[in-house]
A = this chain, B = another copy of it.
């Protein structure tokens, strides 16, 4: 019988939904000795994963509960086959992305400060000046410009996997001008290859980053790319911090060139003395986009389907790292 290890902090009510015909081995962070398992379910918990890994023997397949497995590779190496929990974050991360874009375009952080000071009505036109600074638009508009619309904006979506596709779906009724970019070019809809990125950036009023962190995507957005963006562009990172060169981002934010909405940063957690905290035109959440209560059940559902395929000898569908330990992959 296939032996499948899982983190002991995952509630039993979820684990019980895994397919029949396997032996389930709970793995504690204080694990001792050696434990032989065939497949290993990994939760996004760095310390637990590091502590457990050195005690495991015979692991052929790793089933990550998250979309991104970049942090896992340095621990387990590049020879083992790793699947992700494709679909686990689609809804939550896509919703965070749209929410973050809207909160910036509507100047909600500004209005929240007005609410706190009870000065909302008195100071309601003050955002106009802020808008003029970041947009470079010094024209006098009537009524005073207090918020922007997502409607009609030019959006560059970099990453068109499961989450990227859900973001595109949520953007649809906002009637944005959407341009898609992914690793490889595709058709229907048109997806540009990532090597065309620099030619697309000058038109991007909103740049959404939702691609995996790899050696190729590390610092994909550096000083040169930020400089190519139009004045006042909004950079949204719901993927991984190191996809953006943080030093270049800090300089660009301080220069009033761009805006940013980040759920991830580099480094992470962000130290209290990091210069990113003091940047203007920044909206930052602490890597929470996918951490809601729907996460575990959806991840277990995705993993369960992949595990069934493995047990039945069918091709795996969510292989992110095609190692040498499993041969039956799609």
Measured CB to CB, the residues of A under 8 A from B are 9-11, 91-92, 95-96, 98-99, 102-103, 105-106, 108-109, 111-112, 114-115, 118-122, 124, 141-151, 169-170, 172-174, 268-270, 272, 277, 282-289, 291-296
Q: Which 5 residue pairs spanning A and B have beta carbons closest together?
A: A121-B269, A99-B102, A120-B286, A124-B286, A141-B293
Query: Which of A105, A146, A268: most chain B Cβ within 10 A?
Result: A146
Query: In the complex where A95-B150, A103-B103, A277-B118 touch, is A286 in contact with B143 (Cβ < 8 A)?
Result: no
Question: Which residue of chain B is the closest to A175 with respect to CB atoms?
Answer: B91
Residues of chain B lying within 8 A (CB to CB) of residue A293: 141-143, 145
Contact check, A91 vs B149: say whether CB atoms are below 8 A apart.
yes
Q: Which of B95, B149, B284 contacts A292 (CB 8 A)?
A: B149
Residue on B nearest A98 in the bound complex, by CB: B102
Establish whether residues A143 and B295, one from each chain, have CB atoms under 8 Å apart when the complex forms. Answer: yes
Cα distance A73–B149 when bound, in Å? 30
A268 to B282, CA, bound (A): 31
Q: A112-B112, A170-B174 are in contact. Are A9 and B120 (CB under 8 A)?
A: no
Jot down 26 A-B pairs with beta carbons below 8 A, ordered by A.
A11-B142, A91-B151, A95-B102, A95-B149, A95-B174, A103-B103, A103-B108, A108-B285, A111-B284, A111-B286, A112-B283, A114-B286, A115-B283, A115-B284, A120-B284, A121-B269, A122-B269, A124-B286, A124-B288, A143-B292, A144-B291, A145-B292, A145-B293, A146-B292, A149-B294, A173-B173
Nearest CB in chain B to that of A99: its residue: B102
- From residue A16, how far is it (CB to closest CB) to chain B in Å? 15
What residues of B have a CB within 8 angstroms of the CB of A146 in the complex?
Answer: 288, 291-292
Residue of B nearest to A292 (CB): B147
Pairwise interchain contact A286-B92, C-beta atoms closer than 8 A: no
Minimum CB–CB distance from A157 to chain B (whole Å) comes to 15
Which residue of chain B lies nearest to A168 when distances are taken between CB atoms in the complex? B173
Name A143's contact: one of B120, B174, B268, B291 (CB within 8 Å). Answer: B291
Smallest Cβ-Cβ distance to A270: which chain B residue: B121
A108:B115 contact, CB within 8 angstroms: no
CB of B174 within 8 A of CB of A172, answer no
In the bound complex, residues from chain B placing their C-beta under 8 Å from that of A122 are: 269
Contact status B291-A120, CB under 8 Å: no
Cβ of A138 to closest chain B Cβ, rounded Å:
13
How far is the CB of A43 from the nearest CB of chain B, in Å? 9
Q: How far is the CB of A280 from chain B (nearest CB, A)?
A: 12
Which of B9, B106, B286, B295 has a CB less than 8 Å from the CB of A99?
A: B106
A236–chain B nearest beta-carbon distance, Å: 14
* Residues of chain B within 8 A of A145, CB atoms compared: 292-293
Residues of B within 8 A of A95 (CB): 102, 106, 149-151, 174
Q: Which residue of B lies closest to A174 (CB)?
A: B170
Given contact pairs A103-B103, A145-B292, A146-B288, enumerate 12 new A-B contacts (beta carbons under 8 Å).
Answer: A95-B151, A99-B105, A102-B103, A108-B108, A120-B284, A121-B269, A124-B287, A142-B293, A143-B295, A143-B296, A145-B293, A173-B173
